Amino acid sequence: MDNDLIKKRNWAFGIVAFFGLISIATYTYNEYYIYLSVYLWFGFIYGMCLQYGRFCFSSAFRDLFAVGVPRMAVGVMLATVLFALVSAFVTATGLSTFHAAPTSLHAVVAGFIFGVGMVFAGGCASGSLYKTGEGNGVALLVILSISVTQALFADVAGWTNKLVPQSWHESAVSKGLPPTINAGDGWVDQYLAGYVWDQPVMTYATMMGQTDESITGAFFSNAFLGVIVPAAILLLFVYLIWSRRSFLRKRKKVKENLNFKDDLLGYWTMIVASKRTAIAGLILGIFCGLQMFVTQGLRVKFGIQNAGTLLERMGHDYGISVNGTVFDPGYWYVTTQEAQWVGWVFAKAGADNMDNIYFGLVNGIPNPAINPADWMSLALIGGAAVMALLHNEFKFKKPTLELATWAIIGGALMGIGSRLGLGCNVGAFFVRVAQGDVSGWLFGIGMIAGAYIGVKFFNWWTERQMAKEFEACDI
Amino acid sequence: MKFEKVSDGHYQLDVKGYVCPHPQIYTKKALAKLAVGDHLEVIFDNPSSGESISTMCDITGDEIVSQKQESGKFVWDIEKG
């Protein structure tokens, strides 16, 4: 083994040791820190899985439209189905941490903006985290853009108030929120309290007249009808449009008369074609479900509903929301903790950004060093770095001006889409779809349409770039 | 991005520094311009693009003749099928 590989391996072990030391030292200091360490280690596992499987939600739809490659669409559907099955078990035991989101066309619009953004940026919100762990400067720029845009967008007021329909304003003011939260001021506040909160919250189980915790509600309505059936149909479309022709062409070389069984074989071959992606999808799905189970177990053990209570018990009361809460989903999430750390920086620089719903009423802006979800994201980057270092795939890459431009534009669109949709490709799509939340597929439909438009643009852009090169080569 | 003719039937596409989806889109467009039997050497350093290019070649019938990897840089020789 050459010196470079040995050095990289040592760095990988160093990162693992660093996270291990943080967990042990903080637990020794106060046992409540184990709650944050759970976030940390699940984030670490997600990072390893994402890097190993090159798991990017953007790629799932973008590569279908751009180069006709279905591997990531398969991986995402596999992960979602597994996550749904584990979640159904967790929900049926009453230990789910999930709360469904309001359902309306806003999820489609938000998904569309997010979808265009993720193609421009070269990766989704979670993909940008793991690629940062590979040393990719463009991905880091995307994260910064998502983070800053969200923190600014969540608190935007002034002239944007004029864009708010009167009905939203009246509905927001009538909610009677605490006096420190001025719900009648700020575009996002009035969008949330005046429109989104008035939309119905639906899961497939509640639509069928069942509770989410019932066996039929959790396993049949939410997991089977809400996830497994649509995922199988979606993959069938993917097979018919992008995969069937090439499979049957190869199959004809070994068998003359093809029949329905060959199509079944082709469908299955497409699913297992990329082992790395399939394995990553399976592990991600299982661990995403387990995280809810473990987090809820700790909440019961410590007698809390939210990590804000733990932070206050440990004497950290800065940046806690007016409800005494901080962002603490209890499952995989990406974008809100990114908005929080920039929100915290802005607040330290003198900004008054705790008068909005997003930070002031719900998520808070705790110090990033003790923000549970920030521990998850940092460990996700670390897990991806470890995997990349071990496979000799780590490389520092400085962004070029062209890629930096796409990263900033794409990140900003993803930031806005995330706040409109109350989450990103993970929180608003992956998690919600897997939990039987109707708004999840709506966000997904928008995201697919956005990815299509983004690819159309890049096809035009790359065509222009290559035309000059082809001309020089006379082809 | 740099695309050049190395010799008769041999071309090189250098997309180092590019992230998704650029390497796979450029590779697809470059392969579309080549004649059957021509070789395209693709140089890239975005690992996830490798998965997409590999699956794309499997679907289109193009053959990846050789794959080299050193310090996060990938050099693949693809024969147009």
Suggest the residue from B3, B19, B34 to mutate for an interface test with chain A (most A CBs closer than 10 A): B19
Instruction: Calculate how close chain A gets to B40, using CA atoms only, in Å.
Output: 13
What is the residue extent of each domain of chain B?
A: 2-79
Containing H/E element for B5?
Answer: strand B2-7
**Which of A67, A71, A139 is nearest residue B25 as measured by Cβ atoms?**
A67
List pLDDT tens digits, range A431-451. Answer: 999 999 999 999 999 999 999
List pLDDT tens digits, range A397-414. Answer: 899 999 999 999 999 999
CATH 3.40.50.800 fits B2-79, yes or no: no
- The answer to whether B51 contacts A138, with C-beta atoms less than 8 Å apart, is no
Span of A161-165, A230-234, A471-475, B4-8 with lowest mean pLDDT: A471-475
* Residue-level pLDDT, tens digit, chain B, 81 residues: 999 999 999 999 999 989 889 999 999 999 999 999 999 999 999 888 998 999 899 889 899 999 998 877 999 999 998
- Chains A–B, number of C-beta pairs less than 8 Å apart: 124
Q: Which residues of B touch A67 (CB under 8 A)?
A: 21, 24-25, 27-28, 52, 56
Closest residue of chain B to A119, computed from CA coordinates: B21
List pLDDT tens digits, range A258-296. Answer: 999 999 999 999 988 877 887 888 899 899 989 999 999
Which ipTM value was assigned to this complex?
A: 0.88
Q: Which residue has the higher pLDDT, B46 or A338?
A: A338
Q: Which residues of B touch A54 (CB under 8 A)?
A: 47-48, 50-51
Q: State yes or no: pLDDT of A1 exceeds 70.
A: no
Q: Using 50, 70 and 90 to split pLDDT, how confident is the model at A48?
A: very high
Q: What is the mean pLDDT of residues A187-193?
A: 97
List pLDDT tens digits, range A83-101. Answer: 899 899 999 999 898 999 9
pLDDT number for residue A282: 83
Could you give the CA distance from residue A317 to residue A313 in angstroms, rounded to a whole number?
9
